[in-house]
Structure 1
């Protein structure tokens, strides 16, 4: 009986040691995951905005039409985001670019209102673009913008860059006026909204390089 007691004690010690060893492994693994999460957070796109996201692959097209009016020059101190706004899209030229506070409630790093025109104001496309410090903040803004769309949905899909999903887009008819459209999309940390006549929005949206 005494021998059995000793054996049982050793077995309990072995089990306790094994359990403690496993517990240490779990703790070390959890700590490693936390460290990796912290390191990856600093490298995550949008943690510190260094550049404008790459242009999206969807939708794609090649513009052949040329504008008949000159684009408005950007200020010398224009940000990288503002510089990414093209001078022209097909036969539409950038005729205005101003800072705006329309989306201030969502705390963007920067936001602008632009106009793309053929020279005929009735065909103008209004553009609002903003950039946030993280993809999560940009996604929140995208969701808020899409909830405001009340017209019939015309198109929707994923924004892809090099085959990877970097956001989404949706195009809706303007409420109460089927001759007008609103297109909203997110690419990484940037959100864009286009509005104007249907034919104009279709052209600019399909060819906009962001």
Structure 2
């Protein structure tokens, strides 16, 4: 029997207002779950960023340093033609190069003083320059002696007369030591003298400090 008292509702009976209230509650719960999911995703993303870039920094890889690049300039080349050698040039004179770096042979003449003072078999004086008016030049002399001992004595005497050495070392040909070289100051400031020996041949170059040293380094004998 159903109670007919005014205002009484059966426990199993729901009014339209109850249905609206239930739908609102479910919608609010869905919104809360969505908000919670968004917050969780934001937290996860923040943790990933901190882990990658702050600690321990997996994504913050430092760039590998670029290797050092050494650019080597091409050696200078001559712009002038070397002077011709005499038709009766000896084997020693013929072995003197027509050019060394940007310098060319300007003249070649017999060095009679070298021959008379040191009893050289033969001796020559040459001048190398770039061929321009007033250009830098290297004064060069070369002599050959009967044996290595005689050449060694002349080489030693030249070094003693030149003064204190600023650099010295071995002269090698094909990995074999054939003599020594030495760099000494020139008579004028900013000049140098390089004296070296190759077995029975003694050579000497004079000129501007850096130029004469480059000349020696590039000289083929």
Q: Does 1:172 align with 2:191?
A: no
Secondary structure of 1:202's match? helix
| Structure number with bigger Rg | 2
Residue 74 of structure 1 deviates from its aligned partner by 0.6
For 1:156-186, what per-residue CA distance to the aligned partner results, in whole angstroms no more than 9, with x for missing partners? 00111222211100011114x3300000000
For 1:101-128, what per-residue CA distance to the aligned partner results, in whole angstroms no more than 9, with x for missing partners? 1222211110000000012445100001
**Number of residue pairs matched?**
147
- Which structure has the higher relative contact order (CA within 8 Å, separation 6+)? 1
Mapping 1:1-210, distance limit 5 Å? 64-103=75-114, 104-120=116-132, 121-150=134-163, 152-175=164-187, 177-210=188-221
Secondary structure of 2:113's match? coil
**For residues 199 and 118 of structure 1, what CA distance do their matches in structure 2 show?**
15
**For residues 128 and 199 of structure 2, what CA distance do their matches in structure 1 show?**
23
Q: TM-score, normalised by structure 1?
A: 0.66
Q: Show structure 2 runs of 5+ residues with no match.
A: 1-72
Q: Show structure 1 runs of 5+ residues with no match.
A: 1-61
Hey, which bits of structure 1, 4+ residues long, moved more than 4 A? none
Residue 203 of structure 1 deviates from its aligned partner by 1.8
**For residues 102 and 149 of structure 2, what CA distance do their matches in structure 1 show?**
34
Q: TM-score, normalised by structure 2?
A: 0.63
Residue 86 of structure 1 deviates from its aligned partner by 0.3
Secondary structure of 1:129's match? strand
Which residue of structure 2 lines up, in the alignment, with residue 42 of structure 1? none
For 1:10-56, what per-residue CA distance to the aligned partner results, in whole angstroms no more than 9, with x for missing partners? xxxxxxxxxxxxxxxxxxxxxxxxxxxxxxxxxxxxxxxxxxxxxxx
